[in-house]
């Protein structure tokens, strides 16, 4: 079964690249042995740098289920998810991740996935992204508002 | 100027939490000294686990500019971005990141940002997310299709 779902993700990736709709990445989300959502990379056609296959599939699955989490489901990705997508997989509370190609394959085709993992391993000040924390006295106020709000919905 | 933009991000975060629209996080994107897009966390109201403030702001800025990158712009976030959002900031090619609160503040309010950074520092097999790579012979095919496609648009 795992191989079947991964083959579908790879098929989505190849079709997507072949039809010029975006990068060569695909993903499917499976619950109870069935694919409930599919996604392919649409960064350049949707003009959305976050429209990676995994995020497209996660958003579609949540829309379909009417929920903001995907507990009980697994994601199958044609390639190892980049850090953005790995974070999304955690936030979606998916049960498991399966993937086929690796970050080295993506790097050879010109994608930054491996570079991003290297960046994440660095201290903030050593990253290529100029980053500065400015501690303002009011910075903690949103959290106080959150904790005071009786109707807050944790996620 | 940096403080002014950060204060706006913090204001968005506090308003968002106070009005029950989502988590206590806000972000603004600035280009040429002007805010071109704003975002707040809408995970629980949009039923989208990827609708963090930074991603909402990035997507709005890209829609406004009609581009899939934000070169020449900076992002101001009420709190240190989680790994998903840091990845999105890289993919959006933003020039710089400024933030106010830190991952410790988010953790104290019950959010997983610090946990996710800890997860990213672990080998795949030691993470809490069950992960398995299944090497299939066709895994590299999407990349070959991509590299053969004369109209491919890198991002």
pLDDT at B70: 98
pLDDT at B78: 98
Selection from A125, A139, A44 nearest residue B155 by Cα: A44
pLDDT at B131: 98
Q: Are B101 and A139 an interchain contact pair (Cβ–Cβ within 8 Å)?
A: yes
Catalytic site includes residue A124: no
pLDDT at B82: 97
pLDDT band, very low/low/confident/very high, at A2 (cuts 50, 70, 90)? very high
Residue B62: left (phi > 0), alpha (psi -120 to 50), or beta? alpha
* Crossing angle (nearest 10°) for helices A113-120 and B83-91: 130
pLDDT at A129: 98
Across the interface, of A14, A48, A49, the residue whose CB is closest to B142 is A14
DSSP A139-150: GGHHHHHHHH-T
Across the interface, of B3, B109, B143, the residue whose CB is closest to A143 is B109
pLDDT at A53: 98
> Looking at the DSSP assignment, which residues form a beta bridge with residue A132?
B98
Q: Which residues of B are catalytic?
A: 54
Residue of chain A with shortest Cα separation from B107: A143
Farthest-apart Cα atoms in chain B, separation: 53
pLDDT at A154: 94
pLDDT, tens digit, 9 for 90 and up, residues A51-87? 999 999 999 999 999 999 999 999 999 999 999 999 9
pLDDT, tens digit, 9 for 90 and up, residues B29-74? 999 999 999 999 999 999 999 999 999 999 999 999 999 999 999 9
Burial environment of residue B133 by CB neighbours within 10 A (0 to 12, 13 to 18, 19 or more): middle
pLDDT at A132: 98
Give the integer Cα–Cα distance in Å for A143 and B24. 6
Query: How many Cβ contacts (< 8 angstroms) between chains A and B?
Result: 281
Cβ contacts of B10 on chain A, cutoff 8 Å:
136, 138-139, 141-142
A33 CA: distance to closest CA in chain B (Å)? 17
Selection from A105, A133, A130, A94 nearest residue B93 by Cα: A130
pLDDT at B108: 94
Residue B110: left (phi > 0), alpha (psi -120 to 50), or beta? left
pLDDT band, very low/low/confident/very high, at A35 (cuts 50, 70, 90)? very high
pLDDT band, very low/low/confident/very high, at A123 (cuts 50, 70, 90)? very high
Query: Do B142 and A21 form a contact (C-beta atoms < 8 A)?
Result: no
Choosing among B2, B37, B49, which should be mutated to test the A contact, i.e. which has the most A CBs within 10 A?
Answer: B49
One of A3, A15, A54, A141 is an active-site residue; which one?
Answer: A54
Which parts of chain B have pLDDT scores under 70? none
Across the interface, of B2, B44, B68, the residue whose CB is closest to A48 is B68
Q: What is the mean pLDDT of residues A124-131?
A: 97
Provide the token pair at A61: 């699955």
pLDDT at B41: 98
């Amino acid at each position: 079964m795992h191989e079947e779902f991964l083959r579908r993700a790879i098929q989505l990736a190849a079709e997507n690249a072949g039809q010029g709709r975006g990068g060569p990445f695909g993903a499917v989300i499976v619950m109870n042995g069935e694919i409930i959502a599919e996604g392919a990379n649409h960064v350049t056609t949707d003009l959305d740098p976050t429209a990676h296959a995994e995020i497209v599939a996660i958003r579609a699955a949540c829309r379909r289920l009417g929920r903001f989490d995907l507990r009980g489901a697994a994601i199958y990705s044609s390639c190892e998810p980049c850090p953005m997508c790995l974070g999304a997989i955690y936030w979606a509370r998916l049960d498991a991740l399966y993937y086929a190609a690796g970050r080295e394959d993506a790097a050879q085709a010109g994608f930054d996935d491996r570079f991003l993992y290297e960046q994440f391993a660095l201290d903030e000040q050593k990253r290529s992204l100029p980053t500065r924390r400015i501690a303002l006295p009011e910075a903690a106020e949103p959290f106080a508002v959150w904790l005071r709000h009786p109707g807050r919905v944790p996620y």
